Amino acid sequence: MYSNIVLSRQWARLACVCRYMSTIEGQKLPQAARSSDGISPPPRIARSPTDILQALAATVGTDPSAAHYKYHDDPYLIPQSNYRKRSYALSAEAGRKAAAWIRDEHAELFTMREWDPPMKMKTPYFNADPQIEAFAPKPIYNDESKVTEEDLRYTIQNALLEDAIKVFELLGGVDNLNDELKLSLLQLLCFYNEKEPVSLEWLEERWFSAATRERQSTTWKLGGLADKIFTAMEPKTSEAYSAIIQGMAKYYQAERAHVLAQEAREQGIPLSTTVYNSLLGCVGFLKEGVTLRVEALKSILNEMNEQGLSPNSETLSACLRSISSWGSGKALQTVALQVVAECRQLGIAPSLSAYYYLLCLFCKEQGPRIDILTNIIADLENRESIEATQATDTNFFITAMGVCSDHLQDVNLAERVHALLMKGDNYKLVGDAYKESIYYRHLVTVTCKYAPFEKTTQLLDTLVPNIYVPEPSVMEEIIRTLEVGGAGDRLADAWSQLVVFGHAKRTKLVEKLLSALCNCYTYQDDEVKAKIRQAAADILKFGQLMEEREENEDRRSPTQKLSASALSNIVELCSDTQDKLDPNWSTVENAVQRLRDEQAAGVPARPQILADLAQKAATVGKPELAALAVTYLAECGFEEATAASVQTLGVMLNRPVEEVETLLQEQKASLATSLHPSALAVAQAYHIAKTGAPLHESESSSASSESDSESSSDDE
């Protein structure tokens, strides 16, 4: 028995060995065939180095309540405003850049590897296995360096344009190069128009770089190195023509590009679809007027057909790009639709760029409202996945959301666009930080204006502040929405958000917030009311703090001060208390004092607030405050001052209004003796308000009355 088993095992081992021998080194994929011992390992699945990582990354969902991953490192420094986010991320990258700079500057210090085997330590750095090129110092090319064609190949491969030019010169220029390298260099030069491109390594720098709008003007370097290389190339191949024409067309040297294309055609040199695409993109520079331009466009398409070249999706976007840049109008729109239909017939689906240009063409700010977006979104939703094919694809989502917000004002469509962006891997199409923030600006605006309140707050809770920090204009919209929705709690929170987002110095915004707080104050819960009062008091305190800081630091541009209406709003909110010991009374006093000292612009929009305050203060037992308020009202010449002073006096003296009025008709002299100083101030305010006399006159009269009273008291 046993021997049998052993034998079979031996056989299996033998078979194994045989199989091993048959595949060289045993490195080939195991056969799916069944082995005799019943064990059949599954065939190996070839995976790329990042497959596992991607699978792992897919398991990590986005958490809107957490800051972005790049801000995690120091919880105390998690940035909340746009400015801080930007500077945080860029500083982190600046550190990496500094390290790279030192590495490149002092390359000689980085040629040794501690972990190299001992006998190889003396040779230069490239001996470690695996060699990490990203960590190795970048080769520096200068006049002394000895270069080979390999160096040129390396620089072209890595798009190091300036280094490539240097190496090219060191190698002895056009004459000492083989055709293949010349062509590669020509393509590099044409693609970037002899300008150094952005490095791949610095992600944040690109992400936060200010949006440079592509200028549609001729920027091609005439007589540059590219031109020289092209003229020196003999014979001129189809590739050379393609490269130079594409370069010229890309940088809007339209005439020369078309002349060269003509030349190539006459010599019977075949061109490519890409060349024609680039020619289509700049055809508008050749002709003036819509009809001529459309004709030129069609003639190029015809030419393409004659050459036997088939269009691709970039042909479509190039046509639409040209058409959309020629203005608007029925004629152009018809042509655009014709081109789309033509391509659809050939089975070419429009790319995101094509849709972007269509939106540009149809949805003009001033033009009639045209809804093409619904169809576009429906089409995109049906696609399995959206692949980016051109760099301009990133313009689509921001434009689509802009159309939803400004042109169509359709919140449902906006939600669909947003859902599409969030689907799968599509979020990479949002572009950069600038585009992302514009996208969210549109989304939040349209939601605030047209969506139900609950939905709006839900969206805001998701986005703000980790994904998106609202700009002042959007914040205004949000405050308006919260006010209409009557969400006092959120409005009170909005103040702290303003501070955190760095908008607290924007007086207009703060004033809007204050009036919103006032408008929905009455019907809030007590708890929320207290919160709102706290916020109002805080606003005043913040303003003062800023002023102090300004005085200390001697800033150039002083911040705007809160207007009188805003101050009176603070007064209204903070004075809503029956408790004499409430700390908010000091805030109220402060605010009224500021009004009195004319530290605020204008006069209150609702003087009634101050009249009410005077009465309330008198009731609570703060006669000085009441007197202050009434005096301010009187000095400003509000008609409420008379009634307010009478009523306040009534409360102070605890007498009915009629009695107070008769009392006030009496001699000032007698009043002065019998009244409390603050009551006297109220009485004086009454006189100022009633006679409408300017301030200085009343002062002099009051001074005289005072002296009278003194004399009279002496008499007594």
**Which residues inside 281-300 make contact with other proteins, applying CB under 8 A?**
298
Give yes or no for residue 52 binding other proteins (CB under 8 A).
yes
**Cβ-contact 634, 597 below 8 angstroms:** no
Give yes or no for residue 308 binding other proteins (CB under 8 A).
yes
- Quick one: which segment of 3-11, 462-470, 512-520, 672-680 binds other proteins (CB under 8 A)? 512-520
The CA-CA-CA angle for residues 453, 454, 459, to 5°, reads 100
Binding-site string for other proteins from residue 653 to residue 682, where x marks contact by CB under 8 A and - marks none: ------------------------------
Residue with tokens 């220029």: 173
Torsion (CA) 548, 553, 558, 559 in degrees, nearest 10? -50
Nearest to 445 by CA among 500, 497, 413, 402: 402
**Cβ-contact 405, 442 below 8 angstroms:** yes
Give yes or no for residue 89 binding other proteins (CB under 8 A).
yes
**Cβ-contact 512, 562 below 8 angstroms:** no
**Angle between the 526-553 and 584-596 helix axes, to the nearest 10 degrees?**
50
**Measured between alpha carbons, how far is 613 from 651 in angstroms, rounded to an integer?**
12
Q: Which is nearer to other proteins, 186 or 709 (CB)?
A: 186
List binders of other proteins among 462-501 (CB under 8 A): 472-473, 480, 484, 486
Q: Which is nearer to other proteins, 267 or 711 (CB)?
A: 267
Give yes or no for residue 270 binding other proteins (CB under 8 A).
yes
- Quick one: which segment of 101-109, 138-146, 342-350, 533-541 binds other proteins (CB under 8 A)? 342-350
# chain residues binding other proteins, by CB under 8 A:
136
Q: Which is nearer to other proteins, 238 or 325 (CB)?
A: 238
Give yes or no for residue 201 binding other proteins (CB under 8 A).
yes
Give yes or no for residue 341 binding other proteins (CB under 8 A).
yes
List binders of other proteins among 98-157 (CB under 8 A): 117, 120, 129-135, 156
Q: Which is nearer to other proteins, 94 or 605 (CB)?
A: 605
Give yes or no for residue 372 binding other proteins (CB under 8 A).
yes
Q: Exposure pattern of 115-125 as b/e (b: 16+ CB <10 Å)?
A: eeeeeeeeeeb
Give yes or no for residue 62 binding other proteins (CB under 8 A).
yes
Other CB atoms closer than 10 Å to residue 388's CB: what's the count? Answer: 16
Q: Which is nearer to other proteins, 3 or 522 (CB)?
A: 522
Instruction: Note the Cα 66 to chain centre separation in Å.
Output: 18
- Quick one: which segment of 217-225, 329-337, 616-624, 650-658 binds other proteins (CB under 8 A)? 329-337
Enumerate the β-bridge partners of residue 601.
Answer: 563
**Measured between alpha carbons, how far is 49 from 57 in angstroms, rounded to an integer?**
14
Q: Which is nearer to other proteins, 482 or 622 (CB)?
A: 482
Q: Which of 40, 148, 462, 691 binds other proteins (CB under 8 A)?
A: 691
Binding-site string for other proteins from residue 404 to residue 443, where x marks contact by CB under 8 A and - marks none: --xxxx-----------------xxxxx------------
Smallest gap, in angstroms, from Cβ of residue 233 to other proteins?
Answer: 14
List binders of other proteins among 638-657 (CB under 8 A): 638-639, 642
147 φψ region: left (φ > 0), alpha (ψ -120 to 50), beta (else): beta
Q: Which of 226, 261, 309, 671 binds other proteins (CB under 8 A)?
A: 309
**Measured between alpha carbons, how far is 91 from 564 in angstroms, rounded to an integer?**
41
**Measured between alpha carbons, how far is 281 from 314 in angstroms, rounded to an integer?**
10
The CA-CA-CA angle for residues 319, 324, 326, to 5°, reads 100
**Cβ-contact 686, 645 below 8 angstroms:** yes
Give yes or no for residue 242 binding other proteins (CB under 8 A).
yes
Q: Which of 94, 171, 603, 653 binds other proteins (CB under 8 A)?
A: 603
Tokens at residue 263, please? Answer: 């030349």
Q: Which is nearer to other proteins, 37 or 379 (CB)?
A: 379
**Measured between alpha carbons, how far is 190 from 192 in angstroms, rounded to an integer?**
6
Give yes or no for residue 246 binding other proteins (CB under 8 A).
yes
